[in-house]
Amino acid sequence: MKTIASLGDLTGKKVLVRADFNVPLSKDGTKTITDDARIVAALPTINALLDAGAAVVVMAHLGRPKPVGEFTFDESFTLAPVAARLAELLGKPVPLAKDLTGPSAQETVAALQPGEVALLENVRMDPRETSKVDAERQAEAAELAQLADAYVSDGFGVVHRKQASVYDIAQILPAAAGTLVFKEVDSLSKATTDPERPYVVVLGGSKVSDKLGVISNLIEKADRLLIGGGMMFTFLKAQGHEVGTSLLEEDQVPTVQGYLARAAERGVEIVLPIDVVVADSFDAPAPAGVVAADAIPADKIGLDIGPASGELFAAKLADAKTIAWNGPMGVFEREDYAGGTRAVMDGLIAAGRNGAFTIVGGGDSAAAVKTLGYDTADFGHISTGGGASLELLEGKTLPGIDVLADEN
């Protein structure tokens, strides 16, 4: 994969950087950024380019605007809060263009001097960005290319998307991976390319269907799979157990039964919870108690793995040398149902201290680390891209990575 060094001397040049600034904003109307981790993650690449004598033009998205026909400004999705926070972190002004490739962008970039940074308005305000029509994306990319001399991909959270600012632009300008994307791919490759064994994967989250490809791929690669979260109930149902009113994808039961059979044939251990924290309903003010995983009452809903399961999962992580975790074990946002996720994180940390390389696969898993007050330094790698990291674990080729290959 091409790195920034492959771009040669950048003195006096303008470099387009695709970042992932899809940060959470407060819901009180002030548009305050509640977690700036993705902006902080982009700083090493931006600073490296500034140190190389370049002027940096950053492009990113925020939310899901719905443009009609052409670039459509939508105040609800403006990157203005991001520009303000980026300026604070860099200690220098970061002007925000009022469009993506139009007059404001052209004027803003033309005025940019080496050592300065500007931000283009939300790329997804242009419908061509996410178009399924190649020619439409390529037209946007051609306009973007007029603004700069080189392109750096540093938004790992979008490299699994075939989008104009991710894929097509890299086919026009000299292109390279930023430090964040390079670090992500390098770290995740430790779990996808000849991992040190035992290789254990912990999967959670709400739906089995979201992770079908991952499970299928990991049965061929992992030594052990630990299943929690809402998806555990489809596995329990596949074993013939009652799951009450818990989240269940009935149509996936035959598929899961096939996975269980394949895993048994290949000697891959699938570890399911042995107890579950249940409640009368999702909105109940408190848990109803803890029950055996094969004895969930028909009128109860499971919202977390139980304490015995937490101990079991931690024990199954203890001897691992490579661990990838994607998806919480329960509704961790509520303290009553955070115990399983805490147990997994504690297990990762303990394994890490014994020499394991631990990967937290972005998305809700990364959010749980922050929400539950854990130190990010206690994990080998915390991904910034939930979907992208999941697709890498699934064994997929990511368009935004493939286009940066050395042979291109």
CA distance 195 to 217: 14
Active site residue 224: no
> Considering 13, 14, 18, 38, which one is annotated as catalytic?
38
403, with CB counted inside 10 A (0-12, 13-18, 19+), is buried
Nearest-CA neighbor of 202 among 193, 194, 211? Answer: 211
Helices 363-371/339-353 angle, 10° precision: 90
Nearest-CA neighbor of 19 among 394, 384, 332? Answer: 384
Long-range CB pairs of 62-66 (<8 Å, 24+ gap) are 62/21, 62/22, 62/23, 62/122, 62/124, 63/22, 63/122, 63/124, 64/124, 65/122, 65/124, 65/125
Question: Which is it for strands 117-119 and 199-203: parallel, antiparallel or unpaired?
Answer: unpaired
Torsion of CA 129, 130, 133, 138, to 10 degrees: 30
End-to-end alpha carbon distance in the chain: 9
Residues placed in the known binding site: 20-22, 38, 61-64, 124, 161, 211, 302, 333, 362-365
Are 148 and 142 in contact by the 8 Å Cβ rule? The answer is no
CA distance 60 to 119: 8
Active site residue 128: no
Active site residue 396: no
Query: What DSSP character marks residue 20?
Result: -
> Considering 157, 228, 361, 387, which one is annotated as catalytic?
387
In the block, tokens 């940060």 appear at: 23
> Considering 207, 262, 321, 334, which one is annotated as catalytic?
207
Helices 386-394/363-371 angle, 10° precision: 130
98 phi and psi angles, rounded to 5 deg: -90, 0
Active site residue 38: yes
> Considering 363, 380, 385, 386, which one is annotated as catalytic?
363
Residues placed in the known binding site for ATP: 211, 302, 333, 362-365
Residues labelled as active-site residues: 38, 207, 363, 387
